Structure 1
């Protein structure tokens, strides 16, 4: 089944808490995953950032909202218990306990409208938008989805720009990306014979490491159409002529299924890098992009408050 959103987890989490004097959050993760019959793949599914498991994140946020409403209470780190208000919510509350339902509790209102430190400077800042009133995503999911959308748009813009540069500039760009990834040592002598090797299938050579213990052969082309198997075969043949085992074929377009299959079957290790992946690497390694804004997401350091 689909992974339930965090509001759907509110009542099951309350009912789980009601079954014992205290519950550990880590045990709640597994118990609710079992209750919803989640597959192993669903249990392991990550947030877009890859830093936390999606289902565990949703359980944690359900617990946070229930605590803010006073239906659960924190006993100690990672341990919670149901309150009398929580038992009453199980008894008289709806089948699906949502944020809208939780707004009958003052603690949740203070949390949701950020009123812990008095009134906000203006009404708009203290009121969530109607579109987010019953969001199925946790705040982290909303943040990461927005980040992923912005990054995706940047990849498209970056690739459009790459397609407009000259062939010589594109070859230099490729070298810049590889150097930023740790290949080739110093930028000034990173690549050799780029565009001048005279070998029909090779545009340049770059050291695999700063010491030059091994080399990687490059083919870097701005391509209008999809790159097919014949071009990869030509590149592989050029590598064999040099007794080379490693190559990177980079294009602004993409590769056919036959080209991908061929590259995966031959003895030479050839990496096929399409335009979208090149754009992602440029973003990851700061080539051709600059930082517009930085947002730090911090969490409570519980260890700091431990009384030695």
Structure 2
């Protein structure tokens, strides 16, 4: 049989988790070749990036199921069916696809977070389509939309991976991000010792002597927002270091009181919430890898006019 598309794979991927066991996402993806009895040639077929085509499509199916909340991620590289996922198997005995997932608010939030993130699911197999206007789109439009939907999915994936880190691991991630962004390039960027840090998780020295410093606070929260007292405490830590600049980064969000406190105090504190953190990690290539680039061509009219 032919290699199924990513939407056809959604229900089989979800059904493979029906027993409620925690599995490696890689094993779930790779099992689809056996589920569909693919031939050796079909199993070996690859997309331009070099990834196996069946793995690419099954990976996107699993990613979309996670976005809808039908699959949970209990640990790094691990997946498990959710209660919503079990109910979906009963509710949709024949097929689960992108249209089906629109019944779930979490998927709609993902889809609408950066509206227009859709692309054609052609032989490139890089990103699935949820749009209905592809026939009226130029190749440039499709490529741009493909990049946007890919960014939306990867940003949520990288934020989930950050939440799976230990507190010290998250602090290390934040310091590496700031270093990649260029802070400390002429000096140094390092994480402070786990104990006795005085409320400071990282220090960015902008010059070799460490005279120009930026202090970092990193909080790995799942649901709880960062409120005013946390910002007030960070400002006190800055004062104890005789510092006047800081960056407070969280996987969660900041309350209105926290934002007002950062603006009120006599120090410059930049606030980076989970959504912005995910954008920065992808933008600066921290914790992600480029998969494929696409070159588009246009007619060179000047060339033909010169002949």
* Structure-2-length-normalised TM-score: 0.51
SS at 1:140 equivalent: helix
Deviation of the 1:186 alpha carbon? 8.1
Corresponding residue pairs, total: 176
Relative to 1, partners in 2 of residues 1:222 and 1:142: Cα closer, same or farther, differing over 3 Å?
A: same
> In the aligned structure 1, how far is the partner of 2:144 from the partner of 2:192?
42
Deviation of the 1:203 alpha carbon? 1.8
Unaligned runs of 5+ in 1: 1-129
Relative to 1, partners in 2 of residues 1:197 and 1:184: Cα closer, same or farther, differing over 3 Å?
A: farther
Is the 1:183–1:209 contact (alpha carbons within 8 Å) kept by the matching residues of 2? no
> In the aligned structure 1, how far is the partner of 2:154 from the partner of 2:196?
34
Deviation of the 1:134 alpha carbon? 5.2
2:290 alignment counterpart: 291
Asked if 1:182 corresponds to 2:182, the answer is yes
1:273 alignment counterpart: 272
Alignment deviations for residues 219-241 of structure 1 (CA, whole Å, 9 cap, x no partner):
11211311111111111121122
SS at 1:184 equivalent: coil
Relative to 1, partners in 2 of residues 1:219 and 1:131: Cα closer, same or farther, differing over 3 Å?
A: closer
1:240 alignment counterpart: 239
> In the aligned structure 2, how far is the partner of 1:213 from the partner of 1:303?
56
Relative to 1, partners in 2 of residues 1:293 and 1:216: Cα closer, same or farther, differing over 3 Å?
A: same
1:207 alignment counterpart: 205
Kindly report which structure 2 residues correspond to 1:1-308, keeping only aligned pairs within 5 A, or say none: 131-132=132-133, 135=136, 137-185=137-185, 190-191=189-190, 193-199=192-198, 201-209=199-207, 212-224=210-222, 225-299=224-298
Runs of 4+ residues over 4 Å off in structure 1 = 130-134, 298-307
Unaligned runs of 5+ in 2: 1-130
> In the aligned structure 1, how far is the partner of 2:237 from the partner of 2:250?
17
